[in-house]
Amino acid sequence: MEVASSNDYRQKIPIEGITWELLNRMVTEKKTLEPGIGGDGRVHYPFAEGVLGPEADTRAWIDDMVGLGILRAYSTMEIVMCPTHLRADPIVQLECANCKNRSMRNTSLVEHIHCGFIGDDGRFKKDGVLQCPNCKRPIASADDLRVSGVWYECPNCLSKASSPRTVFVCREEKHDFSTDDLVLTPVNSYTVVESMISVVKSRLVLYPSLADMLKTLGFDVSYPASVKGRSGVNHSLDMYGRKDGGDIALQIAVDSKPVEATAVMSFFSKTFDIKPKFAILITIPSASEGAKQINPGYDIALVEDLDGSGAVQKVRALLLKE
């Protein structure tokens, strides 16, 4: 398959198997790969792992797909990890700076608008009634009070602080680490790049349908295919069918605009050496005027189709005319 401004994906990615099962679901179900923290404290991609298996295999697959330009990373966030065990699920505790107790209580600091007194919200309750502890006026409505902040109180030594010390406890060996020690690791979500969605749809739907149709006409079909030409060079093709009455070579070119003449020339460089009886180039969504103008001299049949859904019937009709 020829894709504008891209690498030769055909040779790098298998059409069948779990790779295409996952890409199929991502495209058809409009799914993205979102990270999550597993019970082992590691970053996982549950949707991908449901198809691909273990976390290590999933990470390798994602890296491969990003390298090939099929997936793109987005929505990067930083997660806190233990510097020793690299777990991303630490227990977060607040520690009293005075006595090191880790059972801090947080309360809201409330200001009485009338007299300006500020204290924790618990002091405004007396015998089940809201009343200012300073001026003794009853609190008639929520508008009489204004939250001015939050503070933390240690129930052990009763000391108060606006910002107690944050301590992280690793679940691996229950050891502590602080904000000075932690590791901040970027974690991404992943989606199929827009330019590859049509390619994925074509491979997942068009390829098997074309192969099945050719088989009904007696061809022994391979896709993707590697065919040795008269020169001894092996040429990669999207699909190749062998038959006693003459072979067929097919190439699929997908672009966001009419496919340019370079796709015709690239295909011809292979068919000239292979010499199949039929050489068919499917262009999605169409062939450019330049491609149409140079094509007659190359003995290649152009099959234009807007989205690939009608390509199988068009190829079949073309072959039945011969």
CA 4, CA 199: separation in Å to the nearest integer?
Answer: 11
Q: Which residues of 33-45 are buried (b: 16+ CB within 10 A; e: fewer)?
A: bebeeeeebbbbb
Q: Phi/psi of residue 183, each to 5°? A: -110, 125
Q: In order of start, what are the domains of the chain with their CATH numbers?
A: 2-85+184-192 (no CATH), 91-169 (no CATH), 197-321 (3.40.1350.10)
Mode of pairing for the β-strands spanning 234-237 and 183-192 = unpaired
Q: What is the pLDDT along the chain (322 residues), one digit of tens a residue?
A: 444 433 344 434 554 568 878 888 888 888 999 999 999 999 999 999 988 887 668 888 899 899 888 899 998 899 999 999 999 999 999 999 999 999 999 888 899 999 999 988 888 888 888 999 999 999 989 899 998 888 899 999 999 888 899 999 999 999 999 999 999 999 999 999 887 776 676 666 788 899 999 999 999 999 889 999 999 999 999 899 999 989 999 999 887 789 899 999 999 999 999 999 999 999 988 999 999 998 888 889 999 998 788 999 999 999 998 7
CA 283, CA 136: separation in Å to the nearest integer?
Answer: 83
pTM of the predicted model as reported, rounded to 2 decimal places = 0.61
